[in-house]
Amino acid sequence: MITKTIRYELANGIATITFDEQGSPVNTMCLQWQDDLDAIAAQVAQDKAQLKGIVLASAKSTFFAGADLKGVMRSTEADGPRVFREIERIKKNFRILETQGVPVVSCLNGAALGGGWEVALVGHHRIAVNNPKIQFGLPEITLGLIPGGGGITKMTRLLGLMAAQPYVLESKLFGPEEALKIGVVHELVATPEELLPRALAFIESAQGKPEACTHVWDRKDYKMPGGTPSNPKIAGMLTVAPAVLKQKTRGLYPAPEAALAAMVEGAMVDFDTAMRVESRYLAGLMTGGVARNMINTFFFNMNAIKGGQSRPKDVPRYQPKKVGVLGAGMMGSGIAYAQATRGIATVLKDVSVEAAEKGKSYTTKLTQKRVDKGQMSAEKQQGILNLITPTASAADLKGCDLIIEAVFEQRELKAMVTKEAEPMLAEGGFFASNTSTLPISGLAQASRDAKKFVGIHFFSPVDKMKLVEIIRGQDTDDETIARAYDYVQALGKLPIVVNDSRGFYTSRTFGTFVMEGAAMLGEGIPAPVIENAAMQAGMPVGPLAVLDETALSLSVHVLEQTRIDFQKEGQQYVATPGETLVEQMVKQHKRPGRAAGGGFYDYPEGGKKHLWPQLKALYEKPGVDWNLQDVKDRLLYRQAVETARCLAEGVLTSVHDGNIGSIFGIGFPAWTGGALQFIYGMGIEAFEQRCAELAARHGSGFILADAVKAALRQHQPQY
């Protein structure tokens, strides 16, 4: 029996079910597969008398990929009952396969994630190829969903409530060896060719042994490992678990809370009821907005970035062998670390060898932590350090495929180091600036070849931040953009590509967040309200705290540079209310930021930071009428408006760059799916209406021009 997604063969009492979705590189739980599974389960039930065993296998390089996420993107709240029926239908067929009284063996030739791992769990006996690159697990929480195809119920019954939590609530993935260790895989083989013979051998050995044909939870003597929620030890832990979870999610992510509820509630009832509880929670999430937002961005948009959708086509792949970094400060030393740990020879140049050596010591410090924890050998550490050459001589840059300047944000200084270093490039090499705000086309004027000059904007700290913003200047050619993209991917980071403008995309949008916060302080809204509202909306930290970390003096420096640039063009730059307040903090109150002793916050030695007490007297106005929802909305909507403006102006050329850039670059809340998905998730009309209300009360930062409205509609994703 052959369907469009599954092949069924019965020979010598062995039913082999091979997943093979036609026209797809992977197997998914698409609607066709759901229909085909109905037919296969019915056939198995019909053939029961002839069966000695069932083998689950895959014709793809992976075992099974999971749910059809495009289908989830098209669902709405009204689809809840239909989605619940579909989930239950899949589980009913799983149940038919695993309760025929014959052994079922899952042959795991490759990855089985999400729904794929739930398919694997149908087998009473699971055999995997012992390849460390193969991953198993339940990553649904990261997409705003839960493992509702039996994953929660089965993993909880296999491992126990406490031991299952990392795999269910934290989406911890695991390889074949860990799977064997925790008991969710029973055998490992060296090659895919050994899977079927081992499966047949197990089926043969299982004849006449009822326990080999039954899952542990279906046995009469089954007891949950570690105890059920009625166990006093477990009960004590479960009383605090929801509060701990709420602290992490801030109530913005329904999936972890639903997963915990399904685990606990399911542990108190029989298996079939537990499966139904799980289905109800999953149906609710699949038809909710947060899951759609997160799937859109963390699956589809992320795959677009990894697949190089913003990379110019028709340019051969590129791998830089030797890269120069100018400036061994915080950014330069971070870039050197990122390169060396990925095997790229690095020349780290500063004004003195001592300064360059200090920059190299950053890599020593970070790798030493890993050596101390046993995560890296001393030999591996030495190999990484040997790749970094600290120097004060430009001559050592000779032969670099790429040179990146990471010096102070000053045009003249950047021009000087560019002219000094460029002649050292290898033939066909290119030059990059790690500026975060200065337009690339202007900096390229110091270059001997503007076509080979590009912005590569890393985020601080480089070792932790995944995003890198590639900025195309007016003259930057496609080959240089493609090479920059490949270089960023070689570092294991996420590249987005934007066009040149003041502040590019991330710094410009981030600036609106912090300056909206400063503006609200100037209006008399209490500083604690602003900071807490940002956190409640899902930002990692409040705008005033961020300004302190990045230095208020840096914001003033950028403001002064902007004024000079406008003057050169015969224009006058009018500072925003937020910029004016920050300038006042630095120049009048001598509060330049954390590094210089204090800004909006005080930093007592050995104590916890706290808001500067003088803010209350200087800025708080007791009679000011403020609304918490308005404060939250101003912080999120202001960033979304700026992102939409970047899209309309062509600074952003794709939605995926905007969403990934906003989450990984500026900490826009993940529950929204990013600054553009925030708009598309609520609906463009609803967004426009709320912006109009905010603009009427809080100024031009919330005005959407007709061109912006048109751009939002033009780029709206379709599923």
Helix and strand totals (H; E) in the chain: 30, 20
Q: How far is CA 262 from CA 256, 273, 403, in A?
A: 10, 11, 53
Tokens linked to 419: 């002219």
List own/partner pairs for 689-693 with CB under 8 A and 24 or more apart.
690/633, 690/637, 691/637, 691/641
Is residue 218 a contact partner of residue 206, using CB atoms and an 8 Å limit? Answer: no
Hey, which bits of 306-376 come out as E strands? 322-326, 345-349
Smallest Cα–Cα separation from 15: which of 127, 117, 96, 129? 96
Please state, as a whole number, how many other Cβ atoms lie within 10 Å of the Cβ of residue 38.
16
Give the DSSP letter string of 562-580. HHHHHHHTT------HHHH
Catalytic residue status for 579: no
Smallest Cα–Cα separation from 533: which of 517, 519, 552? 517
Buried b or exposed e, range 561-593, using 16+ CB within 10 angstroms: bbeebeeeeeeeeeebbbbbbbbbbbeeeebbb
Cβ neighbourhood burial of 457 (10 Å; 0-12, 13-18, 19+): buried
Where is 338: in which H helix or E strand? helix 330-340
Hey, which bits of 142-198 come out as E strands? 187-189
Tokens linked to 356: 């360059």
Where is 690: in which H helix or E strand? helix 684-698
Dist. CA 135–CA 133, nearest whole Å: 6
- Contact residues for 638 (Cβ-Cβ < 8 A; gap 6+): 512, 513, 516, 701, 702
Please state, as a whole number, how many other Cβ atoms lie within 10 Å of the Cβ of residue 291.
27
Amino acid at position 163, single letter: A
390: left (phi over 0), alpha (psi -120 to 50) or beta: beta
Smallest Cα–Cα separation from 161: which of 73, 233, 62, 67? 233
Smallest Cα–Cα separation from 664: which of 464, 454, 502, 409? 464
Q: How far is CA 296 from CA 469, 539, 681, in A?
A: 21, 19, 10
Backbone φ, ψ for residue 652 (5° rounding): -95, 140
Where is 19: in which H helix or E strand? strand 14-19
639, 641, 643, 644 alpha-carbon torsion, rounded to 10°: 170
End-to-end distance of the chain based on CA atoms, in angstroms? Answer: 32
Amino acid at position 459, single letter: F
Given the residues 86, 140, 187, 531, the one annotated as active site: 140
Q: Give 669's strand partners.
A: none
Q: How far is CA 313 from CA 310, 354, 479, 480, 653, in A?
A: 9, 43, 9, 12, 15
Four-residue CA torsion sign, 561, 565, 570, 573: negative
Tokens linked to 675: 């600054």
Catalytic residue status for 170: no
Given the residues 98, 118, 422, 583, the one annotated as active site: 118
Tokens linked to 576: 């925003």
Dist. CA 324–CA 421, nearest whole Å: 9
Is residue 488 a contact partner of residue 434, using CB atoms and an 8 Å limit? Answer: no
Dist. CA 588–CA 117, nearest whole Å: 61
Radius of gyration for the chain, computed over Cα atoms and rounded to the nearest angstrom: 29
Question: Which positions are catalytic?
Answer: 118, 140
